[in-house]
Amino acid sequence: MQNLIPAFDWQRVVVAPWTDGFSFTIWIVLMGFFVTAACGLVGNYLLLRRMALVGDAISHSILPGLIVAFVVFRHVSIWVSLAGALAAAFATVAIIDFIHKQSRVKADAAICIAFTTLFALGVAMMSSMESKGSMHIDAECVLYGEIAFVALEPPFVWAGWEIGPPSVLRMAVVLCVIALVIAVFYKELLVTSFDEGLSKALGMRTGVWHYGLMAALAIVVVSAFEAVGAILAVAMLIVPPMFAGQLSEHLPTRLGLTVLHAALTALLGYHLSVWLGCSTAGAMVVAAAGLFVAVWIPPQIRKLLRLRAQPELIVSAMR
């Protein structure tokens, strides 16, 4: 067990990445930040609409969408991935609705059936293609990505300036677009998430906003895919909003806290992975979860201690 956790050497873990490997480190941390922030912002609305697990479902079912898109279009590019992801997202939602509405299977089982079947289809396709030698996708990559690859990409050159790895820049654009959409359509997103009845009574097309959110979800997840893989994208959708929710009851503040959480996660996560020599994505998820626990547990302990000291508070402590 001792060999498992390397010694914590401040120099190696915290300082060296920034002094020696700056150009490597900066892109990884930025990618992590952009991915977590974009997923977290979209995730806020998922949680408000109680659709967290639909987010889970779509991030799994994107896999066969990507594979089918690659097979159909026969080349790998961001637009192909996007097409595959959007198709998969809508297919998932359509299948869930179909099963749920056309039979007596309930919504939770329908979600589970839809995404596991699609994911199984994706993995089956992937492994049979791999065994035939026609495609080489690392199975692990699907699950937890390999964010370090972004730092190794040849940089994007524009007007003679070397800006940075294309994936990171793409993710930055995605983040900006998401932030912009949320800012511009803030009140529409708010009222359709809060009170669907009122939205319809006011004449809003709630279906448009619902599918728009699904599309945004598909876009952030497919962008997050190469950095953190399918399953950890789910973490980035859910954990930052939960962190923000513990600290504020005001939606704009929550959105800001989500971005802050993303920054901390990326930074802490990267250093954690350097120290332990583990998957960067996994470390970032651990960091994200750790931040949530840090704001969740201490108030509970304080409450418990207060209750011990003054038993009459037990009545008022019932939420």
Site for other proteins in 128-187 (CB under 8 A): 128, 131, 139-140, 143-144, 184-187
Encoded one letter per residue, x for contact with other proteins by CB under 8 A and - for no contact, window 69-108 reads ------------------------------x--xxxxx-x
313 contributes a contact to other proteins by CB under 8 A:
no
Q: Figure out which of the listed residues 120, 163, 294, 305 binds other proteins, where binding follows CB under 8 A.
A: 120
In the window 248-307, what residues touch other proteins (CB under 8 A)? 248-251, 254, 273, 276-279, 281-286, 288-289, 292, 296, 300
In the window 202-221, what residues touch other proteins (CB under 8 A)? 202-204
Query: Near other proteins by CB under 8 A, which window of 67-75, 159-167, 198-206, 216-224?
Result: 198-206
Between 80 and 276, CB nearer to other proteins: 276
In the window 232-251, what residues touch other proteins (CB under 8 A)? 232, 234-235, 237-239, 241-242, 245-246, 248-251
Angle formed at CA 66 by CA 62 and CA 68, multiple of 5 degrees: 115
Query: Near other proteins by CB under 8 A, which window of 2-10, 17-25, 166-174, 212-220?
Result: 2-10
* DSSP line for the chain: -TTTS----HIIIIIHHHHTSHHHHHHHHHHHHHHHHHHHHHHHHHHHTT-HHHHHHHHHHHHHHHHHHHHHH-S--HHHHHHHHHHHHHHHHHHHHHHHHHSS--HHHHHHHHHHHHHHHHHHHHHHHHHTTS----HHHHHH--THHHHHSPPEEETTEEEE-HHHHHHHHHHHHHHHHHHHTHHHHHHHHH-HHHHHHTT--HHHHHHHHHHHHHHHHHHHHHHHHHHHHHHHHHHHHHHHHHH-SSHHHHHHHHHHHHHHHHHHHHHHHHHHT--HHHHHHHHHHHHHHHHHHHHHHHHHHHHHH-TTHHHHH--
Query: Near other proteins by CB under 8 A, which window of 8-16, 157-165, 168-176, 227-235?
Result: 227-235
CB of 198 to other proteins, least distance (A): 6
In the window 3-62, what residues touch other proteins (CB under 8 A)? 3-5, 47-48, 50-53, 55-56, 60
Between 172 and 258, CB nearer to other proteins: 258
Query: Cα torsion for 138, 139, 143, 145, to the nearest 10°?
Result: 0
Between 4 and 7, CB nearer to other proteins: 4
Q: How many residues bind other proteins (CB under 8 A)?
A: 87
Query: Near other proteins by CB under 8 A, which window of 82-90, 155-163, 228-236, 305-313?
Result: 228-236
